[in-house]
A and B are shown apart, each in its own frame.
Chain A
């Protein structure tokens, strides 16, 4: 069964450093998302991406964040200068744009980001 994959599974970084989180969405999906989950809290939407551009972003997704689809398979989230409060689990998700189950978002296993 196709699945969303994410790398790395755990990233430790120093405050102020740049990090890039990587995702490989399901191959025939066209909508891509990043969500984050601070430990013990709910999952929060960060950004959605369609047709090579951001379709919607949340207040959390400020100028320190950017997303990119550098090739036909990868989808990345970059945090330019990490802060302590960026420590969280980051989930990538993808979905179809048509078909019976087109609303279902498939989530990857997440990348745990720890900012020291």
Chain B
């Protein structure tokens, strides 16, 4: 019940295109859903996060869409750039406690010229 499923495993997008990564969760108690970006040899860095009381959050080229009834959320990267090439992890947590993060399996994004 703690799982977060993520797809696709890898994604190749042309520069300027839209990258879409999807996640689904099982635990309805989760109330905070961050996306992390990880470059090779580095730790994960928070990209954008959403709470289930809103259906969408946008920060620059990055948008999270959230569907509470379907228990799904997705990351959209608009106008994808080669510098966006990284591994992206969705995660979920229950706040107000230790708030451990349950991560998805990751998506390796490659943005080509």
Contacts and interface: CB of A to CB of B under 8 A. Distances in A.
Given A42-B105, A43-B103, A103-B49, A48 B98 contact: yes
Contact of A41 (B43, B98, B105): B105
Interface stretch (A14-22, A65-73, A78-86, A106-114): A106-114
Contacts of B49: 103-104
B103 A109 contact: no
Given A43-B44, A109-B41, A56 B97 contact: yes
Contacts of B100: 33, 45, 48, 56, 58
18 contacts: A4-B43, A35-B101, A41-B105, A42-B106, A43-B89, A48-B100, A55-B98, A56-B98, A91-B43, A95-B99, A104-B34, A105-B46, A105-B99, A106-B46, A107-B36, A109-B41, A109-B42, A110-B41
Contacts of A103: 32, 34, 49, 93, 95, 99
Interface string A30-58: 01010100000111110010100001101
Contacts of A55: 97-98
Interface of B: 32, 34, 36, 41-46, 49, 89, 93, 95, 97-106
Contact of A110 (B43, B99, B105): B43
Given A41-B105, A56-B97, A103-B99, A108 B34 contact: no
B101 A43 contact: yes
Interface residues of A, number: 25
Contacts of A50: 98
Contacts of A56: 97-98, 100
Nearest to B96: A103
B104 A42 contact: yes
Contacts of B45: 107
A104 B98 contact: no
